[in-house]
Amino acid sequence: MSFVSNFNKNTIRDKTYLCLSPDENSLTKDYLIKGDEVIILEETKDKIWQKIAYINRKGKILVRWVKILK
């Protein structure tokens, strides 16, 4: 069993910019594109932000926050 199986996985639907914290003022130049798969690590109580982990093609793990658009 993989340790990742305990987390929720999701697929990005549209280009999504990443933040360093659950705050739009911490926006980075980094983004994910449609089809990228992420692991949801945490969610704010108001369910507006999710902390995600993304593993890029080089195997580097990137942990950032994304704002949930409904």
Between the alpha carbon of residue 68 and those of residues 1, 4, 31, the distances in Å are: 29, 22, 14
Confidence of residue 4 (pLDDT cuts 50, 70, 90): very low
In the numeric block, which tokens belong to residue 1? 């069993």
Concatenated DSSP letters of 15-70: -EEEESSSSGGGEEEEEE-TT-EEEEEEE-TTSSEEEEEEE-TTS-EEEEEEE---
Q: For 42-65, what is each residue's pLDDT tens digit?
A: 999 999 999 999 999 999 999 999
Q: Please, what are the domains in the chain?
A: 3-67 (2.30.30)
The two three-digit tokens of residue 42, written as one number = 């945490």
Q: What is the pTM of this model?
A: 0.84
Q: What six digits make up the tokens of 57?
A: 């093609």
pLDDT of residue 7: 66
pLDDT tens column, 15-42? 999 999 999 999 999 999 999 999 999 9
Q: Is residue 2 over pLDDT 60?
A: no
